A and B are shown apart, each in its own frame.
Chain A
């Protein structure tokens, strides 16, 4: 049902680099898990509302007030980035310069 090519595609979508060995391993394992999950098709669900939240809260509002900026914390968060320039997070080229 799920092929190695599918695994390759999913890994690409999920942005995870896999070795050839991993692709073979995950193909087998995902296949088995999906077979198990297929038992859900035994359940009749026509007209059943999906549940995303179990306790029934729909919206949770608060007053739209500006909090005091926490400069120290903002700085600490930026400092977590592996690559920085000045006070900015630095990333690699999106397009290759060829």
Chain B
């Protein structure tokens, strides 16, 4: 039985027609993982199905979970040596909701350590390979999750997105990745990276599945006070609606210098198709775009330096047993347990927040963050949605950027501003570019107003149908 390309809808039809059982479905995914995972390294741990089948909105759908989201009783490493043997003692809210909806878990997926990275090369447990071209990275940090969906090892996956960590790997792997509005999905049980930016979202084979998974995981949670009390609609309702008259903005800053010419061509072609379908295309400007990455690399490391202070060798995780005194327990456990990128960002944040530098760095960054947010607010007075490329290039090769932190950071240039402004955005495949005889996917990004996922889905579905 070949389950590689099955979507949620395919599975529901297959079950109804008695083409396969839930058990056959799960086992088929498991055997594909056993066959392909040693090469791709998408999963850090794999589960045998020990859950009793529940009936709900996602009955029997096999999914994969990024290894920074807690599942009770399962090892959760966040891609770090410091949590190599950590076993979660409770379920994240998103996991509780998926369990209640009847979804079944295949395993936990690989990621850049503590979600810091854009290629999974920062994982303490080896990189994940891009299933489309194993010489290339899958993107990151949710690279394991995206590779599992792209290779058919899972039907859908959960990832987390702080500066592009769902959308960038979704773009590189040719799958659909949604970063919901800040506050739509609970982060309770997500290992925190930067709390003012982090958001959990679905990674799926198509737009319909994305809406189905969001239906289950969205909504207020008393355990995450940043979640907003909004009515969660049925997101599938907006799929297939006419886009005639919809106003779509193309920011000049997202089509300028640094964007690969071939990527640009495909994204522009996609926009032309939307215009033919009746959408109104407008050129817009987001004048502070060029500062987004600099703002991000102050705010993120600052929050990281505070959030990761909990890894102290005392409460849980790796502890250096040879240390002579308390200070050495901290220094040695963290010195050994953290990888290079994590150390780099903790130190950057510690520096930015240290006495005498706070105003020059952190406060300045928060002020420019306001200007970036206002750019979007002004743009959304004129247009309903903003579109552009997800990333400046297609998936790059292993080793290409790992020794140059800044060039790695630049692969998130079109995604970080969305997190700074708390907006929702999706990446979906819109075409391919042939490199060395392999067709590599190009990601199309659609950015919406706060809590306007419905319009994003409406347009994304249209892009998918007219590819």
Residues of chain A at the chain B interface (Cβ within 8 Å): 2, 6-7, 10-11, 13-18, 22, 26, 29-30, 32-34, 36-37, 39-43, 45, 48-55, 57, 60, 62, 73, 76-77, 80-83, 89, 91-96
Q: From B298, B338, B368, B406, give the contact of A43 (CB < 8 A).
A: B368
Asked whether B351 lies within 8 Å of A55 as measured between CB atoms, the reply is no
Q: From B226, B332, B422, give the contact of A60 (CB < 8 A).
A: B226
- 12 new A-B contacts at CB < 8 Å, known A17-B335, A54-B196, A54-B423: A14-B350, A17-B331, A26-B343, A34-B351, A40-B365, A42-B291, A51-B367, A52-B366, A54-B421, A55-B422, A80-B316, A95-B325
Q: How far is the CA of A91 from the CA of B171 in the complex (A)?
A: 46
Within 8 A of A (CB), among B337-354: 338, 343-344, 346-348, 350-351, 354
Q: Chain B residues near A45: list those with CB within 8 A.
A: 364, 367-368, 371
Q: How far is the CA of A76 from the CA of B315 in the complex (A)?
A: 12
Do A32 and B325 form a contact, CB below 8 Å, given A15-B330, A16-B347, A53-B196?
no
The smallest beta-carbon distance between A82 and chain B, in angstroms, is 4
Q: How far is the CA of A52 from the CA of B58 in the complex (A)?
A: 36
Chain B 209-228 interface mask (CB, 8 Å, partner A; 1/0): 00000000000001001101
Query: B169 an interface residue at 8 Å Cβ cutoff?
Result: no
Q: From B314, B334, B354, B450, give the contact of A16 (CB < 8 A).
A: B334
Q: How far is the CA of A7 from the CA of B323 in the complex (A)?
A: 22
The smallest beta-carbon distance between B226 and chain A, in angstroms, is 6
- In the complex, what residue of chain A is closest to B319 when comparing beta carbons? A82
Asked whether B365 lies within 8 Å of A15 as measured between CB atoms, the reply is no
- In the complex, what residue of chain A is closest to B373 when comparing beta carbons? A51
The smallest beta-carbon distance between A70 and chain B, in angstroms, is 9
The smallest beta-carbon distance between B14 and chain A, in angstroms, is 39
Residues of chain B at the chain A interface (Cβ within 8 Å): 86, 89-90, 181-183, 196, 222, 225-226, 228, 288, 290-291, 293-295, 297-298, 305, 309, 312-319, 321, 323-332, 334-336, 338, 343-344, 346-348, 350-351, 354, 361, 363-371, 373, 405-406, 420-423, 450
Do A57 and B226 form a contact, CB below 8 Å, given A37-B294, A43-B291, A80-B89?
yes
Instruction: Give me 23 A-to-B residue pairs in the complex whose CB atoms sit less than 8 angstroms apart, sorted by A's number.
Output: A10-B350, A15-B309, A15-B330, A16-B343, A16-B347, A17-B335, A18-B335, A32-B406, A33-B406, A36-B297, A41-B364, A43-B371, A50-B366, A51-B366, A54-B196, A55-B450, A73-B89, A76-B89, A82-B314, A92-B323, A92-B325, A94-B325, A96-B325
Dominant SS among interface residues on chain B: helix
Q: How far is the CA of A76 from the CA of B73 in the complex (A)?
A: 10
Q: How far is the CA of A81 from the CA of B310 in the complex (A)?
A: 12
Q: Chain B residues near A22: list those with CB within 8 A.
A: 343
The smallest beta-carbon distance between A64 and chain B, in angstroms, is 13
Q: From A17, A32, A54, give the contact of B373 (CB < 8 A).
A: A54
Q: From B90, B347, B368, give the contact of A10 (CB < 8 A).
A: B347
The smallest beta-carbon distance between A91 and chain B, in angstroms, is 6
Asked whether A82 lies within 8 Å of B313 as measured between CB atoms, the reply is yes
Q: How far is the CA of A51 from the CA of B30 in the complex (A)?
A: 45
The smallest beta-carbon distance between B24 and chain A, in angstroms, is 35
Asked whether A10 lies within 8 Å of B351 as measured between CB atoms, the reply is yes
Q: How far is the CA of A34 from the CA of B365 in the complex (A)?
A: 13
The smallest beta-carbon distance between B304 and chain A, in angstroms, is 10
Do A39 and B406 form a contact, CB below 8 Å, given A89-B315, A91-B314?
no
Q: From B228, B324, B367, B423, give the contact of A57 (CB < 8 A).
A: B228
| B226, B366, B368 interface centre (most CB from chain A within 10 Å) | B368
Do A60 and B225 form a contact, CB below 8 Å, given A17-B331, A49-B367?
yes
Asked whether A55 lies within 8 Å of B183 as measured between CB atoms, the reply is yes
Q: How far is the CA of A30 from the CA of B297 in the complex (A)?
A: 11
Q: Chain A residues near B368: list those with CB within 8 A.
A: 40, 43, 45, 48
Q: How far is the CA of A6 from the CA of B354 in the complex (A)?
A: 11
Q: Chain B residues near A42: list those with CB within 8 A.
A: 291
The smallest beta-carbon distance between A32 and chain B, in angstroms, is 6
